[in-house]
Amino acid sequence: MAKTEVLSPKKQTRLQVVTQLQAAFPGLEEALGKKEFADRLKKVSKILTQGLKLKPVKKVKESKIQAA
């Protein structure tokens, strides 16, 4: 049986950043080459998600929302 690897939320976010940047800069991949472009995307995604704290969002009680 092959174990399926569960990615951490931070790694999932990094992968989402990479896919969005690939879609945003298609011409840059052609200019740099696939390998160099992939390396730079990896570095950029690490920088962009560096201080990111992924915790579940706390639910706010409805009484506090109505009081405000």
Residue 3 within any structural domain of the chain: no
Report DSSP state, residue 42: H
Structure pTM?
0.66
**DSSP H helices in 3-49:** 9-24, 26-32, 34-48
* 13 part of a folded domain: yes
Lowest mean pLDDT among 3-12, 20-29, 36-45, 49-58: 49-58
Q: What is the mean pLDDT of the chain?
A: 83
For residues 26-51, one letter each, b for 16 or more C-beta atoms within 10 angstroms of the residue's C-beta and e for the rest, the string is eeebeeeeeeebeeebeeebeeeeee
Mean pLDDT of 12-38: 93
Structural domain range at position 58? 9-67
How far, CA to CA in Å, does 1 sit from each of 4, 8, 49, 67? 9, 22, 33, 54
Structure tokens belonging to residue 3: 């174990």
Residue 61 lies in a domain: yes
Instruction: Tell me whether residue 41 is in a domain.
Output: yes
- The answer to whether residue 17 is domain-embedded is yes
Domain count, the chain: 1
